[in-house]
Amino acid sequence: MFRRLLTLEEAKLVIQKHFEAKPLGVEEIPLLEAFNRVLAEDVVAEIDIPPFNRSTVDGYAVKAEDTFGADENKPVKLKLCGMVCVGEKPKIRVEHGTAAEIMTGAPIPEGADAVVMLEDAERKNGEVYVYVAAARDGNIMKAGADIKKGEVVARKGQLLTAREIGAIAAVGRAKVKVYKVPKVAVLSTGAEVTEPGKPLAPAKIYDINAYSLSAAVQESGGKPVYLGVFPDEAAELEKALKTALASADMVVTSGGVSVGPKDVMPTTLSQLGKPGVVVCGIAIKPGKPTTVAVVDGKPIFALPGHPTSALLIFHLLVRPVIECMAGRMPTKYATVKALASTRMFPARGRKTFVTVKLKEESGKLVAEPVPMGLSGAITTLLRADGFIEIPENQQFVDEGEEVMVHLFKSEKACIKS
Ligand code: AMP
Ligand code: MG
């Protein structure tokens, strides 16, 4: 098959031209299942939170002015007039000269405007000795102090973490509208590739890509649909791809896109439907044979088999598409400046990504390449902290030159020291 290598930017534009990545729709789900989903509505508080003035301590509800002048040597003596428990509407009223025992979280009874902490009072024979003067509203959380009625507690587009989910529960919502999760069919190819968990026959290797890519799909906000490993055989592959298209919103495959005699993925993809293959090779290293097709309005990303290449290309090309379909903002990956530990060359005419490890040498951050020559090695990614990008038209990056390292961590995941 004829291949004209597109630049990475051209490839992205061509994909966008044939496939508009946008949210797939909205569904209402139980709040208990909403973790890591993206909110598709503004959640507005319909009540004040807390809904009533409540005590923030265990102690005695009093009229503040009754305690004025009280100190350790001159306690104020008040008559105990009853008790206010949590979860109950107070049945008593605090009159001048009296105090009601109250629990943390219980409503402030009528007449009281402050709470004296248990530790600042002493109870003797039905009377309460207050040793500290209370300020008006002291130890009281006012209705609406946390969330005001009408306030937006979580916004459309927010990723729901424990904190947002807590805030939504606080206003009494048990269901939320979220964006649908895009389903991404994942399949591997190659006669040598064996599913983990099965015995490994001679000349076989375990499937890394279906697993690493499925995890990457989840990280991007998609739901992976694992379809298995298929041989490099056009008819079987075609059947598998048709099943994949029918069962998912997008397909990600790995292997079989190079120019070897068994690399039947591009021709198989070109026979699946319209518009078919839209990207057949990208001028990047690694990832040159990456092939992308669009069939029946669904994209198929056929990544190279080398596990490190597959994951890097996923990161560059596939992740942003899934994020968009999931209603997420594209993840911003943190960058740091470092000095190149050695001279690095790009592959001729190709934008080159060099995986690097960061080290500190004499107080300076140094980026040392983790060789990708063996780009089949998944451990490259385990050892690397990120990658640097060398443009196709640059001759080389010199030793000691400042480079920008794109970290494999999102900005949010980085703790700034
Ligand atoms: P290919 O792109 O099919 O030519 O594969 C390139 C290299 O990656 C070969 O060494 C394959 O054995 C290896 N490879 C392909 N698919 C996988 C996979 N799913 N898991 C691990 N290694 C793979
Ligand atoms: Mg193969």
pLDDT tens-digit profile of 282-333? 999 999 999 999 999 999 999 999 998 999 999 999 999 999 999 999 988 8
pLDDT mean over 57-83: 97
- Report all structural domains of the chain as residue ranges with CATH numbers, in order of start: 8-25+181-325 (3.40.980.10), 26-45+154-179 (3.90.105.10), 54-141 (2.170.190.11), 333-416 (2.40.340.10)
Rounded Cα gap, residues 273 and 115, in angstroms: 74
- The per-residue pLDDT for range 226-285, each reduced to its tens digit, is 999 999 999 999 999 999 999 999 999 999 998 888 899 999 999 999 999 999 999 999
pLDDT of residue 262: 87
Q: Would the CB of 188 count as within 6 Å of ligand 1?
A: yes
Rounded CA separation 157/183 (Å): 19
Count CB neighbours of 398 within 10 A: 12
**SS3 label, residue 87:** coil
Determine the 3-state secondary structure of 306 from DSSP.
Answer: coil
- Ligand 1: residue of 186, 187, 193 to mutate (most ligand atoms within 8 A of CB) is 193
Between CA 134 and CA 175 the distance in angstroms is 42
Distance of CA 190 to the CA centre of its chain: 32
Alpha-carbon distance 217 to 223, whole Å?
A: 7
The residue assigned the tokens 């596939």 is 318
Residues 184, 186, 190: CA angle, nearest 5 degrees:
160
For the cut 70, the answer to whether the pLDDT of residue 210 exceeds it is: yes
The lowest-confidence range among 77-91, 268-282, 374-388 is 374-388
Q: Helices (DSSP H) in 248-364: which residue ranges?
A: 265-270, 307-313, 319-325
Q: Are 70 and 130 within 8 A, CB to CB? A: yes
Q: Is 190 in the pocket of ligand 1 (CB under 6 A)?
A: yes
φ, ψ of residue 154 to 5 degrees: the values are -150, 140
Which mutation among 186, 198, 211, 306 tests ligand 1's pocket best, with the greatest number of atoms within 8 A of CB? 306
Region 208-233 average pLDDT: 97
pLDDT at 417: 40
Provide the residue type at 340 as one letter.
A
Beta carbon of 375 within 6 Å of any ligand 1 atom? no
Q: Is 31 a residue whose pLDDT tops 70?
A: yes
Ligand 1 neighbourhood includes 304 CB (under 6 angstroms): yes
In the chain, DSSP finds a helix count (H) and a strand count (E) of 9, 26
Tell me how far apart the terminal alpha carbons of the chain are, to the nearest angstrom. Answer: 51
Which residue's CA lies nearest to atom 23 of ligand 1? 305
State the pLDDT at residue 393. Answer: 93
Calculate how far, in angstroms, residue 315's C-alpha sits from the geometric centre of ligand 1: 18
For residue 373, name the pLDDT band (cuts at 50, 70, 90).
low
Average pLDDT, the chain: 94
Select from 289, 239, 298, 299 the least CA-distant residue to 263.
Answer: 289
266 lines ligand 1 (CB under 6 A): no
Residue 355 Cβ inside 6 Å of ligand 1? The answer reads no
Q: What average pLDDT does range 358-365 have in this prediction?
A: 95
Rounded mean pLDDT of 48-67?
98
Spatial contact of 402 and 341, defined as CB atoms under 8 Å apart:
no
- Comparison of pLDDT for 203 and 371, the residue scoring more: 203
The per-residue pLDDT for 3 is 60
Given a cut of 80, whether residue 377 has pLDDT beyond it is no
The answer to whether 190 and 256 have CB atoms below 8 angstroms apart is yes
Cβ of 208 below 6 Å from ligand 1:
yes
- In this predicted model, what pLDDT tens digit does every residue of 101-156 receive, in sequence order? 999 999 999 999 999 999 999 999 999 999 999 999 999 999 999 999 999 999 99
